[in-house]
Chain A
Amino acid sequence: MSTEFRMPDIGEGIAEVELLEWHVEVGSHVREYDILATIETDKSVVEMPSPFTGRVIRLGAKPGDMLPVGDVLVVFDTEAGTPAAEAPAEQAEPPAQQVPTRPRAAPVVRRLAVELGINLADVRGSGPSGRITQDDVRLAAARDAGEAEAETSPEPGSDLAAQPSAAATDHLLDEHVPLRGLRREIARNMAESWRTIPHITDWREADATQLIEARRVLSAHLPAVAGVLTYVPFFVKITATALRHHPLLNASFDEEQQEYVLHRRINIGIATSVPDGLLVPVVRDADTKTVVELASEMAELVGLARERKASREQLTGGTYTVNNFGAIGGHLGTPIIRPPEVGILGFGRISDRVVAVDGLPAVRPTIGLSSVGDHRLHDGDTLGAFTSAVVELIEHPYALLGELR
């Protein structure tokens, strides 16, 4: 008897997943809880265990396919529970009787596929009921051309430009990469933020002399955590502390309800670059934790995020975001708010700058700050007051001693 395993709703409120990799193939004998496939949702990479014991008779998608929740992931022959049980010569359907389903494509699409040399069996349809559209075929052709280009080893003396039709087919060599998974999520969210939120930015520079000293002292004091005690736990602690004094930045803006929500908890999201984009793991109640506690927790969170193993909970629930673009060498930036949050704070790299000290030029380690607010809720004064608090804490980190719970 065949049993379908449909893509379950894995509780993240997602409509579809991307199939990254199969761990089984047609004919595989699978036991309950064996891993069937690796799938990617907007936020995380999940290994999908089998709910059945049986033999795989059909896979519902190819790696790279987007699979809507509820669609068939795997079809099992659940009676062939074990290889031994299969041995009796049960008259199975001869595979020769299986007709390959004709690709769901109208004549104009099939014609285009022939013209462009595309095998429709390899094309994923984006139209209703998986219908292959003309655009799907053009995209597949562009991708093929891109791959062909990549495979062509540039032999010495070969001159592609000498091909008479090269200019005409240049567009075919361009690589069209569909937005998928995380990248698509980022694209949607950032564009939405930029479209709806009037961003204002308060750029500052702060003297990081004391901060450097604080980190040095703390690392010497607690050598066990020295390895994970970067500046970022300090940034998070400083931000959380400043937010406690300026709760209007630790808020959500609700356009629909025409209200804003002041959050009691201060949960700081940390923009973390991962191979396909940016994830934001969240440190909860950051204001109540010591810098050392934050350092260990963040090391673990960021590690999980980079491996795409962070849970949904670890990636949601933030009330404010910090971005350490100093890690890539930046000084000032224009961070984009993650709705419905109303602010984001970018930390630049600490570098020596000439500044005026007591009327004289002096070289001081300096950090750039880019503090962004939602102008629907914030004006220059509220945003500036918060930024000033951050500057104050960077320049005088021992003030944090008064903020511990």
Chain B
Amino acid sequence: MVVGEVAEGVDLLVVGGGPGGYAAALRAAQLGREVVLVDRDGAAGLGGACLHVGCIPSKALIELAEVVHRARTMEPAGVTASGIGADLARFQPWKDSAVEKLRAGIEALLRRNKVRVLPGELAFNRPNRAAVATPDGNVTFLEFASAIVATGSRPAGLRGFPFDGDRVLDSAQVLALDGVPPNMAIIGAGYVGLELGTAFAKLGCRVTIVEMLEVILPELDAAVTRPVVRSLERLGVRLLLGAEAAALGEHELIVRAAGTEYRVPAAKVVVAVGRLPNTDELGLVSGGVTLRQDGTVRVDASRLAARNIAAVGDITGGPGLAHKATAEAEVAAEVLSGRRARFEPAAIPAVVFADPEVVIVGLSEHAARARGIDAAVAQFPLAASGRAATLAASDGVIRMVVDRDGDVVVGVQMAGPHVSELAGEAALAIEMMASPEDLAATIHPHPTISEGLREAAALLVGRPLHVMG
């Protein structure tokens, strides 16, 4: 120990104030731990990328775009309106106030649980000690009994297209735009690219999405992605698959696909090709933690990365989803507080807020068969849904995958209006190992999209009412 390096004792240290970090802090405090949470931005950073530049702002933008779009497209249903448009300059403060309200809520929760929140850049320098560089230029040392690392991820860049905050943007910067650009090229047709592309197209932007793979959302069966592709076509979004962004022109993006060169109009270029774990400047190795080649932290089912250090969320690999981080955080807090717990969900639901919304829970048909499961699949088209008809959104499908041997639901994929709200029911069915009979025998309210889930199950047990088995 360096002379003069006086360390403050901390019972349980949480690094990062995002959905993983603040959840870990709350759970640990509930279990009687004295918790200190360090976030780069202190209390201002609570909620993490998800709240400030990710899930929440994007949903706010998507909602705005949807309202504008529907006001225009529901004209045949009798909507009379003129001069409809979106003013992103007014949208930004509206969105910021929603974000601030949620952030303040987290801060209040942490305060009530007596969690101390400190600002600063933290780096581990020993298995039980970390240095925090505070904004005022000082360095303090924390000696901790246990630590939970939840520092999240950041958008990955693309060689040749460095983020400049003006022309080449990451997802956070796009969401902060205060005007709709006339055109936009998005590199990457993952969930970020699809959500942003759909929203900006609805706001009147000419969008091109460039994807290296030949399909969008490869983990989904084509029956579920087809409504999304059709919707992108209707919105005038150009989808270039099997295509590579080659260079940046003055007003264009130069794209190569199948030997052809395309010049895609690109007042803005959005790089949405994935995310990188925020583990490089944490000194995790000094803390006794092992990193994988890709920078993610190696953890066991109890989320332990070292004897007294756990890691949760995006830095541990797997799908970068806030709800996964939160669930892992609870496990980590319990394990470090002497309880036995494991992160072993049967399903981690994933939602893409494209148009229509897309939900993936559990195994797709393909994934089930690859695991040797004797899978049966049933599919309910939303063309047969009364609620979808009233929403003028009948292009969608609800697919259910069942393990025939065990008579249990193992997967649900959906494309349709508001199906994000059905992801929880699908996950519950899988976690409870429901038989399709359980779902078919459960009364679902009419008229709702949720009836489609019941109908898919009814198909599997051989007695559907609204489609032909």
Contact = CB atoms under 8 A, between A and B. Distances in A.
A106 B432 contact: yes
A116 B340 CA distance: 8
A97 interface: yes
Contacts of A129: 407, 435
A97 B372 contact: yes
B interface residue count range (under 10 / 10 to 19 / 20 to 34 / 35 or more) = 10 to 19
Contacts of B342: 114
A158 interface: no
Interface string B358-395: 00000000000001110000000000000000000000
Given A106-B431, A106-B432, A101 B344 contact: no
Nearest to A93: B372
Interface string A91-118: 0010001110110111100110011110
B341 A114 contact: yes
B405 interface: yes
B406 A115 contact: no
A6 interface: no
Query: Chain A CB within 10 Å — which of B344, B372, B408, B431 has the most?
Result: B372
A62 interface: no
Interface residues of A, number: 18
B68 interface: no
B344 A98 contact: no
B301 to A, nearest CB: 9
B126 interface: no
B339 interface: yes
A289 interface: no
B13 to A, nearest CB: 25
Contacts of A117: 340
Contact of B372 (A99, A102, A104, A105): A99
Nearest to B370: A97
B344 A104 contact: no
B304 to A, nearest CB: 14
Given A106-B431, A106-B433, A131-B433, A101 B405 contact: yes
Contacts of A99: 371-373
B35 to A, nearest CB: 22
Nearest to A112: B340
B346 A102 contact: yes
Nearest to B302: A114
A105 B407 CA distance: 14
Contact of B344 (A93, A106, A110, A116): A110
Interface in B407-444: 407-408, 431-433, 435
Contacts of B403: 101
Contacts of A104: 406, 408, 433
A98 B372 contact: yes
A101 B372 contact: no
A146 to B, nearest CB: 20
Contacts of A93: 372
B442 to A, nearest CB: 15
B401 to A, nearest CB: 14
Contacts of B372: 93, 97-99
B339 A115 contact: yes
Interface in B194-226: none
Contacts of A114: 340-342, 344
Contacts of A101: 403, 405-406
Interface in B149-178: none
A125 to B, nearest CB: 10
B341 A111 contact: yes
13 contacts: A97-B372, A98-B372, A99-B373, A101-B405, A101-B406, A102-B433, A104-B433, A105-B433, A106-B433, A107-B432, A110-B344, A114-B342, A115-B339
Interface of A: 93, 97-99, 101-102, 104-107, 110-111, 114-117, 129, 131
Given A99-B372, A131-B433, 19 more contacts: A93-B372, A97-B371, A98-B372, A99-B371, A99-B373, A101-B403, A102-B408, A104-B433, A105-B433, A106-B431, A106-B432, A106-B433, A110-B344, A114-B340, A114-B341, A115-B341, A117-B340, A129-B407, A129-B435
3 pairs of A and B residues whose beta carbons are closest in the complex: A97-B372, A114-B342, A115-B340
